[in-house]
Structure 1
Amino acid sequence: MAANFLKSLFGDEDIDEQEYYETSDQNSVASTNSNNKVVSINSGRVNQMSQISLYEPRLYADVKQIASQLLEGHAVIVNFTQMDSSVAARLVDFLNGTVFAIDGEMKRIGKEIFLCTPKNYEISGNLTSNLKNDSDKF
């Protein structure tokens, strides 16, 4: 009723209320679209050089440093020749668990030498023919 009074007062009796609401909806849509901006998001990663660390552990406690290198995304070559075979077997088990947790891979590349890699490395080839004649400690 108040809307009809205002229409007659201003002389715009031909304007429908729907047209009025449609124009305001179009204006609000246009104003929200003008605030949208496309922003490029970079991952923030800088291409780092891959790293392979070499270890020759003598104690079981050395496995912590080796595992941390794997968790940081570095490949590790571990030589167990300086360790007792029972302790070396425990280290291999620990590193196997670490490699599994990071979805990596562990390969024997020598008699008592292992290559452990995180997910972003690929190991190709096989050295089993060279290892068949060696007696395995673990």
Structure 2
Amino acid sequence: MNSFLGLGTDIIEISRIEKAIKNRRFLEKVYTSEELRLIKLKGDKAETYAGRFAAKEAVSKAFGTGMRKVIFSNIEIINNELGKPIVKFKNNIEDYAKKYFVEISISHCKEYAISTAIIFRREDEVGN
């Protein structure tokens, strides 16, 4: 049985992200090339950018670190074949994150995007 590690939630105003995504540096700092590709396929909407931003924040909060120890683009939010968001870890946290399983949910309304992440330590890592 996997053991619970942490829970994180983040909410963001879509209008803030809508302004930020006009800056190419922001896009490169926060999103992976695969995320950008998927966002374009979904219509290049500000709420999609905002949902992924909130998801990255929620994951970092669930780990208990906040973004001060994590680079945004090292957390990748993609979708499985049914559209469910899934988390992949990149670069300097990929090996560390293999110990964990993350469940994530993303939602938005007209003004806000929200995400919740729950992190479990993988069964074979419990006690390590």
**Which TM-score band applies after superposition, normalised by the shorter structure?**
under 0.3
Please say which structure displays the higher CA radius of gyration. Answer: 1
Judging by fraction of residues, say which structure has more strand. Answer: 2
Bigger relative contact order, structure 1 or 2, given CA contacts below 8 A and separation 6+? 2
What is the TM-score when the length of structure 1 is the normalising length?
0.23
